[in-house]
Amino acid sequence: MLHWFKKDESHLPEFWQKYSARFDKNQKEQLISETTFVVLDTETTGFDQEKDRILSIGCVKVKNNKLLVADSFEIYLKQEKFNPDTVEIHGLIKHERFETISEEKALQLFLKYIKNSVLVAHHAGFDINMINAAMKRNHLPKLKNRVLDTGVLYRKTRIISNFIDQHKTYSLDEVALAYNIDLKDRHTAIGDAFITAIAFLKILGRLKRKKLKELYKK
């Protein structure tokens, strides 16, 4: 019955169909220790979802408190649009020494890498929106993965006290400082993804929750 409501994806490229086919089961009951998380960060030319472009994507995979260095993901994109204002933040310069690839190729590799893992990012909304905007430009649907935001999760680790602002947003720098994480390679996509991953592991250690769905609860 359900497939009636499923959108017809036959016109979409094969890599999308392969990616999409993995989302067949409900992940909610899954144990955190058995879930693959992809912790990611993007560097962009700016903060405008429409006008700005992704310059690089960095990801690391985390499962059962473990991160395999060989299984990290680091790509640099060829972008015609170039915003000199943001170069300073992340030091990425167009056609710098890195090997760069097209946006389409990048998305293809990215989907192949993330599969149906749960995506994790600091202030995840921004990164996911930027990637979805790129997907749209390349005539692809939105990402289907579940998403967790370490900014939101970090807030859950703090005690409920009248002396703490319960709605404060915490920057990655603040979280790293609180957890004593080295800020090496800060402001590169892969560097920030690694810092976020360590923060994520420490948050999971503190929250002590068992099932994936419990991370989405208050």
Partner 1 sequence: MKNSIAHRIADFLKDFPPFNFLNADELLNISEESEVLYIDKGNILFNEGESVHAFFYIVHKGAIQLQKFQNEQYETLDTCDEGDIFGLRPLFAEENYIMNAIAEEESIVYGIPIKQFKPLTESNKKVGNFLIQSFATNTRNPYAREDKGKLFFGNQVIEPVSNSPLFELQPAPIIKKIVTTSPETSIKTAAQLMSKRKVGSILVTKNDVPVGILTDEDFRDSIATGEYSIDNTVDKIMSFPVICYPKTVTIAQAQITMMKHNINHICITEDGTPNTRVTGILSEHDIMVSQGNSPSVLMKAIQRSHSTKELKKIRNKINLLLGGYIQNNIPLTHISKLIFELNDATIKRVISRCVVKLQQEPPVKFAWLSMGSQGRKEQLLQTDQDNAIIFADPPEGKLEETRDYFLQLATKVNKRLMIVGYEYCPADMMAKNPRWCLSLSEWKEQVAKWIKEPGPDEILLSNIFFDYDITYGDSLLSNSLSDYILDLIENYPKFLSVMGSNALRNPSPLGFFRQFLVEQDGEKKDFFDLKKRGLQPLTESARLLILSYKIKNISNTAERFDRLAQLEPKNKELFEGCSYASKALLKFRTKQGLQNRDSGRFIDLSKLNKEDKMKLKRAFKSIKALQDLIKMRFETANVI
Which stretches of the chain bind partner 1, using CB under 8 A? 58, 60, 65-70, 72-75, 98-99, 158-159, 161-164, 177-178, 180, 184-185, 188, 190-191, 194, 197-198, 201-202, 204-205
- Closest to partner 1 by CB, 12 vs 152, is 152
- Closest to partner 1 by CB, 55 vs 204, is 204
User: Considering the complex, what minimum distance in angstroms separates the CB of residue 134 from partner 1?
Assistant: 19
Phi, psi values for residue 73, rounded to 5°: -135, 130
Contact by Cβ (8 Å): 191, 185: yes
> Under 8 Å CB-to-CB from 129, ≥6 apart: which residues?
49
- Closest to partner 1 by CB, 25 vs 97, is 97
User: Considering the complex, what minimum distance in angstroms separates the CB of residue 2 from partner 1?
Assistant: 38
85-117 core/surface letters (b: 16 or more CB in 10 A; e: else): ebeeebebebeeeeebeebbebbbebbebbebb
- Closest to partner 1 by CB, 41 vs 127, is 41
User: Considering the complex, what minimum distance in angstroms separates the CB of residue 4 from partner 1?
Assistant: 41
Contact by Cβ (8 Å): 154, 176: no
- Give one DSSP letter per residue of 32-55, joined into a string: GGG--EEEEEEEES-S-TTT--EE
Half-sphere exposure of 122 (CA within 13 A, CB side): 29
- Closest to partner 1 by CB, 104 vs 185, is 185
User: Considering the complex, what minimum distance in angstroms separates the CB of residue 190 from partner 1?
Assistant: 4
User: Considering the complex, what minimum distance in angstroms separates the CB of residue 1 from partner 1?
Assistant: 42
